[in-house]
Chain A
């Protein structure tokens, strides 16, 4: 049983200078029309934009310079991320690689793997897809059936992964699978492999979402050969590795800023009678920013604040979802058809909001994580 705590993390002058630098860059990009601000922009894939960020040193920010990183703090990365999302910039191409695959490789990868992957990710040239969920293993990842068998020089991977965001455009996937049969300990016998998605035996099919968009995929692995040097970490240690990967997934600014462009559009158009609602949303946003930064600070100190990270996501994603209702209650219906910008932000917020409380761990799973930490189950 632990106490939940979100100690305040101050922002340094350097972090603030970085914020200005990122903001100026984004303003120039907008002026040059390289992107239009959008809600949920961390799902927008733009190779050219990712390469620009890589060239500026804003990918792999916290990694060692020896691997193409920039040795910035997690708090500085947090600040840059806030700026990208608040501006609604298209940061989806590199998102998974930069947020979780790279840190996983840095933590568990071999020297060769670090030298091969990390500089490419930091340049915005190498994109990763998540390889966790399966048709019969959604929230319950211990039910994963994909398996790899040892063969000469490597492993033969067979299985099927689903809900793979940008799997059809990514270069690699870290695939979580069984390497030994189900035993008494459901969490034993898993491993992670880095799979080249252009390998023979890999078939990628679109899963069209409710917006009619091809964003996620199902990926079939039919006896795909994975060389020994593309095992991530240790065979059999997959579950523990996966849990640490999830810690990076849950507490970032993408868990409360996905609909910031809509919130800003609402503020810009708000009348006197909207002030109370707007002020309440501002208070919630203030609080979430502190919570998220606090978790970044604790991760930076080497702690694993799993319950706090889960709370950021649970509280944050419900906040993201509520903004559209403030718009509905506060602005005339007609304004959502007559006003192009508002219409665009509103439509995206509504159509994507079901995913907010699902991706990266459903709210129900998160509450279970917190309940366990609090001794409530």
Chain B
């Protein structure tokens, strides 16, 4: 399966190279969507990668789709790739059909049966035909398909200008309702791991831009990278990025159908912490040029500042991880850290 995983990541990389240049990213900012790119995604079936082959997918686990998701983040692609993958898995696990058109997902605060209620925020909802709603009822994961036609939608964006639209769900009619064969605890973890992979992709591009700048920009008669203060600051940032990459890759490898709790929590925490440091270092390195809208840097750093808070911030995951680690003896703690990592 790792072969399929790599082929899909390469396909995505090529597609993004053709259809997601900086102009497309900028044109979608704020609130927009890269329609041509998404049409190509649909034509190639990348968004169905995590469905079973019987359902027309490639049969990847969500963890195996991480390299592809990371590629989309490396291009700051203004499309809900991670959301579409997760929504598709939810629908299939609930025995519901995947509809045509753009599909995104959102958690609902209140349980639903025939109708939904309350408010929620959904990525790219204004561009989507359907929203997959989910609600954790104990360990049970309730899933519903909502047609965006019948919902009151208030446009809103995250710090990156990506649509995070508010949906007023009171009495919104649901197209289909089901229970997914997935532990409700797993869904936020899947989401966190996808976002962590996106953070790694955004960091890669951010550091590419920073490296490019400091090796070519000349001040005081030397490239900036010749100043040790500058190069060491970027080395620290590369170290942070690498630490996040190692954690995310490990979390992907250790997760099967179900996410590996310790690894996923660690990956989201480490990626969020690293990305924060990387964004700061890159802006410092790029100076005023990197602070302009014209320069592509902010398309990555603003996504970093948004994604680190989505599907659980570092603090929220650290609280959970700390709760699990706390009160163990030294032997128990070390056993807990090491015993579940046979891949």
Contacts and interface: CB of A to CB of B under 8 A. Distances in A.
Q: Do A and B bind each other?
A: yes
Contact of A275 (B245, B326, B335, B338): B326
A14 to B, nearest CB: 10
Contact of A6 (B228, B246, B314, B320): B246
B162 interface: no
Interface in A276-322: 276-280, 282-291, 294, 308, 311, 314-315
A19 interface: yes
B235 A374 contact: yes
Contacts of B263: 286
B232 to A, nearest CB: 5
Contacts of B331: 27
Given A16-B342, A280-B318, A294-B246, A370 B330 contact: no
Interface string B305-330: 00000000011011111111111111
A13 interface: yes
Is chain A's binding surface mostly helix, strand, loop or mixed? helix
Nearest to B320: A279
B185 interface: no
B242 interface: yes
A336 interface: no
Interface stretch (B93-101, B131-139, B247-255): B247-255
A5 interface: yes
Interface in A51-98: 82, 86-87
Contacts of B231: 367, 371, 376-377
A274 B322 contact: yes
A315 B245 CA distance: 14
A265 B325 CA distance: 11
Of listed B232, B236, B252, B273, residue having the most chain A CB within 10 A = B232
A223 interface: no
Interface string B255-294: 0000000110111011001000000000000000000000
Contacts, number: 184
A37 interface: yes
B249 A261 contact: no
A230 B215 CA distance: 46
Contacts of B36: none
Interface in A1-46: 4-8, 10-13, 16, 19, 23, 27, 37
A291 B246 contact: yes
Contact of A280 (B235, B273, B326, B337): B273
A313 to B, nearest CB: 10
A271 B325 CA distance: 11
Contacts of A377: 225-226, 228, 231
A188 interface: no
A11 B266 contact: no
Of listed B238, B320, B329, B343, residue having the most chain A CB within 10 A = B238
A270 interface: yes
A291 B243 contact: yes
Given A278-B325, A314-B239, A284 B270 contact: yes
Contacts of A314: 235-236, 239
B325 A4 contact: no
Contacts of A276: 315, 318-319, 322
Given A11-B342, A280-B269, A288 B243 contact: yes
Contact of B322 (A19, A277, A311): A277
Q: Which 5 A-B pairs have the closest CB atoms?
A: A275-B322, A279-B318, A279-B322, A279-B321, A264-B330
Given A8-B253, A11-B343, A282-B318, 15 more contacts: A6-B245, A8-B246, A23-B335, A86-B334, A261-B330, A267-B325, A276-B319, A278-B322, A283-B318, A284-B243, A286-B266, A286-B337, A287-B266, A315-B243, A376-B215
9 contacts: A4-B238, A267-B328, A276-B315, A276-B322, A277-B318, A279-B324, A286-B270, A311-B238, A315-B240
Interface of A: 4-8, 10-13, 16, 19, 23, 27, 37, 82, 86-87, 260-261, 264-265, 267-268, 270-272, 274-280, 282-291, 294, 308, 311, 314-315, 364, 367, 370-371, 374-377
